[in-house]
Structure 1
């Protein structure tokens, strides 16, 4: 395998002539002054981003659709001008993963809700033509040679057809009963190929009769997803997760196939087939590599890594140029010369918009808000913010030792973020873990403790213990049997773990009740466990203060646990849903999606601090280290509440 023709960092790429000046989005904020108790200061959009998901080519333009922002925007990118020449706003949806073209029309599938739109690329018309009901997520789209549109959905794993000529929608039902995802789809004259997860299947569906058969070879049926598909001239290329395997199958004889392994990678995110030269190009994660596979010679060549962790969501080949759509960048690679250039779509004409936040944290001087592929850093002294790129989503952020520690989805990576630098990857939990759920730092133990959810289709979360001074990482898989580690707190040499009965997405829970586990950090063993609240499915947050541990369930029921007596002392209803807790000394504050409150540890009663949050990002709260303020989200804006 040949080495990459070019490898650079994202910062270097952004300094190229096409990308200069857009390393971070700057949002003005009012300078903070001394505030009286209860004063609320609106700090503007918490996190703003241009993040691309779906993409398709029509004539000489690339059409790209945003994800994680509302409204969803579709942009027509003209490579000759390096500009977005037309923008289309979709009335519904929080983003769009799926796109396909039929003639001059673009079809876009949204999520939340799962609507199918027709976009007229010759004009400005946007028309909703179908929906994914009863599902709310269109994951995949493709079009057939005779001009019909085929969609794969979540969470029922459905396949449906839309005929633009008649306006008729036909359902093929679930690709595999019991499986939730149709993550990829490809169509030829007679057959729909549906890539399924979270337990991998490759289903061939007869377009006329609807008959289904699974053509995934038996040796790959332990994979989680057939996540990516490309089809050309009877060759079906499939990306298998989470092993980074490329399966090349002859559709006339599915028993005839070859496999290519992307070294060190887990996911194949985009594929295009160059039938005229018998070559295949594909992008992988987590390395962010672009590969070429020559079918004539069997040679696999890593062409480039545009920056660490790059995510190719689309690849398009035309006139000797390979164009790649990344998180917010469109790259052009010249096949003959290996020359690489790139354009940031923000600079090209798709400005950032407020996004759903993933987590918030503060070190006192700054407030950090994580989102899709980045961290928005609000400087409280200057009243400005900047965005730094992150190859993934920080699900938990923990200030410690003068840096911010990021627990990142996917593959449960740990990064550290220096105050004035870019994120640096330091470790991965491995052990089939993918989604961090909570993290906390113990200065007494120099430990960052991270609780995780396993890979799609897998059971058994983990506790990761990372020594911030030495870099030693220890991972304890399935520490709460058949459950994920949803919340973590540390006190007096003990880690307290709250579980979730939910495992990897696409699984059915095996346990029925969430558990509270005491883990001895010195002995590195489980010391005690119990069910703190009967019938609770998740312990969504934990706070250890004084000689007690306080937790809250997914239904907003708080409990007080006495470690000495190993018993729950009392419970109290503090909210109506998932709630985040934060400690300031021995005081506890909480937030759900509607209000911020103070929780009295002595009585488990609450006092409202602020109403009217109305955030769609979930329950989030952070506290200034000196106890002077709380930070929360109101709508999609960041607010400061003086204490």
Structure 2
């Protein structure tokens, strides 16, 4: 009896008691919005005021800005329409009859704002959840034309009557009517996948192809008897009857948006730098007239306020004025101007243990200092799709430029290493290999192209070695450096950038030797499963989560290349390893976290589906606490496999 009594304190302080204490403690700690944004998509100007629509907020905010005072004077939210899903922004804006129209995503709905009354209303749906109204233009009589995704159509909407007309399929297989313009007789549409500029008769709906471009069309405008459209770096300037075509290309970068002066002079911005260029009548090349008013930014709209002033709207949430005589510009932050900011869907996350949590947003990075609890925010040149640490720097893979940048942990200094190029504008995954001291990046092309690339990046010199088509006919969604280094495993996607028929039916995994820079082997683990969302090497197995195949997960024996485990999750997300175990957090089913062993064990549910890219988990060393999201809040969640399933 004495011996048993002596053992009791040990029993109540041993592993079982510790697990019970862990399970009884609060499982979820919230720290407020993970990433705050004032980013915008649609922008238009009317009667001395600018109107912008936010990106990523639910519900979206339409803000009115007095151009004289440069301050937000009024804002409204776009109400949720009757269709399933919630709007998160409006790429498309136009003015008709003194009212502001906005076309939203990811539900393709049309809204109307009346500046006279301050009222906003839902007026029409043009599809179901997952669709976009990408573009919107008003004809001289006020009739509106909307370009939509994923049906690649142009629709007519008459505000006075509510009448709608569908012009049908503009090109077989097209998904994006990316840009539209209209005059009294015709509608002009730029198609992204099929790289065609088409003219639609307003009278009878007849469709005629005016031009084809080297890549998809991103912007269309009409001026006098001519149509101007951007296709990558090329401006196509053509008469409305299809004759007299001329093409002028930028020496570097691609064209973003443009406007024309009364004399036909074209003013355009470029990506990825955000610089401003001019093309005069009869000139054979663009002239750069100003450094980027908002460096590295996308431009949502440019418009001449007068003969000397160009007004621009930056996607990260800025508005700028450029003096055409001097080339000098002023940039105003829209949040500082009074735009209501809000929580956005984060792009990426990285934990620097005992120091900080970094959260990538739209053209921003938010940092929570773990030592003080303070938060800070600084600008990034795009969307950091993934983050990795090497020493005292973080490296980010950036969309839409395909740039790799570094962030100094001590100073927050952001520096560009270089661009992937080769059409690789969608970098999805980045890791560090300590054996070769190189960064590796998995990427997909933008638009109707299948082949992605593995890029090997020297973090010291910025040298980038791009291996395009390393898995033939597939893009790359994910990669995993072997725990012993020197080899990286790749997860493929047969759909590539989308918009072109795949040549393979099953997503492959491949092993790539980083020293010899060659593929060692390639296999298709499950026939008919087309996209790997993520792969992770651990303990002789390669774990994989498929994206478009009902949350299928596998474990592939790296020695035999045979699938030895297989199961189902509620959705897809990113894999991580911690304390000798494999975990994943996934979309759908409310937002769930699992441990993957011989089967998937549900650890948490109800985390929400608020990631923009992959749901992620970032564990603190020696602990079961993982940094993640709960809704759109930054959260620290206890994911002890010994505890019951938790719900925030």
| Match for residue 91 of structure 2 among 82, 89, 97 | 97
Give the count of matched residue pairs: 598
Using structure 1 for the length normalisation, give the TM-score: 0.89
Deviation (angstroms), 1:396: 1.1
Q: Structure 1 residue 123 and structure 2 residue 117: aligned?
A: yes
Is the CA contact 2:450–2:494 (under 8 Å) kept in the aligned structure 1?
Answer: no
| Match for residue 292 of structure 1 among 269, 272, 278 | 278
Matched ranges for 1:436-475 at <5 A: 436-475=427-466
| Match for residue 59 of structure 1 among 47, 66, 71 | 47
Is the CA contact 1:361–1:622 (under 8 Å) kept in the aligned structure 2?
Answer: no
| Match for residue 396 of structure 2 among 386, 406, 421 | 406
Deviation track 1:107-140 (CA, whole Å, cap 9, x = no partner) reads 1110111111111022211121222125721000
Aligned-partner Cα distance in 2 for 1:610–1:375: 27
SS of the residue corresponding to residue 286 of structure 2 reads strand
Instruction: Show the counterpart of 1:537.
Output: 530
After TM superposition, what 4+ stretches of structure 1 lie above 3 angstroms from structure 2?
34-39, 296-300, 336-339, 469-472, 594-598
Deviation track 1:176-224 (CA, whole Å, cap 9, x = no partner) reads 221000111010110000000112001100001000010005xx3xx22
Instruction: Show the counterpart of 1:622.
Output: 617
Deviation track 1:205-262 (CA, whole Å, cap 9, x = no partner) reads 0001000010005xx3xx2211101112223211112xx11122222x4220222222
Aligned-partner Cα distance in 1 for 2:179–2:594: 46
| Match for residue 501 of structure 2 among 503, 508, 511 | 508
SS of the residue corresponding to residue 479 of structure 1 reads coil
Aligned-partner Cα distance in 1 for 2:54–2:181: 22
Aligned in 2, Cα 1:588/1:596: closer, same or farther, shift over 3 Å? farther
Is the CA contact 2:529–2:546 (under 8 Å) kept in the aligned structure 1?
Answer: yes
Aligned-partner Cα distance in 1 for 2:506–2:420: 26
Instruction: Show the counterpart of 1:583.
Output: 577
Instruction: Show the counterpart of 1:354.
Output: 343
Matched ranges for 1:425-440 at <5 A: 425-440=416-431
Matched ranges for 1:179-578 at <5 A: 179-216=174-211, 220=213, 223-241=214-232, 244-251=233-240, 253-266=241-254, 268-275=255-262, 277-296=263-282, 300-304=286-290, 305-320=292-307, 321-327=309-315, 328-364=317-353, 365-419=355-409, 420-491=411-482, 492=484, 493-554=486-547, 555-573=550-568, 575-578=569-572
Gaps of 5+ in 2: 1-21, 81-86, 641-648
| Match for residue 157 of structure 1 among 140, 152, 158 | 152
Is the CA contact 2:294–2:314 (under 8 Å) kept in the aligned structure 1?
Answer: no
Gaps of 5+ in 1: 1-33
Is the CA contact 1:583–1:623 (under 8 Å) kept in the aligned structure 2?
Answer: no
Instruction: Show the counterpart of 1:3.
Output: none
More contact order relative to length (CA 8 Å, sep ≥ 6): 1
Is the CA contact 1:434–1:453 (under 8 Å) kept in the aligned structure 2?
Answer: yes
Is the CA contact 1:181–1:198 (under 8 Å) kept in the aligned structure 2?
Answer: yes
Using structure 2 for the length normalisation, give the TM-score: 0.88
Matched ranges for 1:164-183 at <5 A: 164-183=159-178
- Tell which structure's C-alpha radius of gyration is larger: 2
Is the CA contact 2:199–2:210 (under 8 Å) kept in the aligned structure 1?
Answer: yes
Aligned in 2, Cα 1:607/1:127: closer, same or farther, shift over 3 Å? same
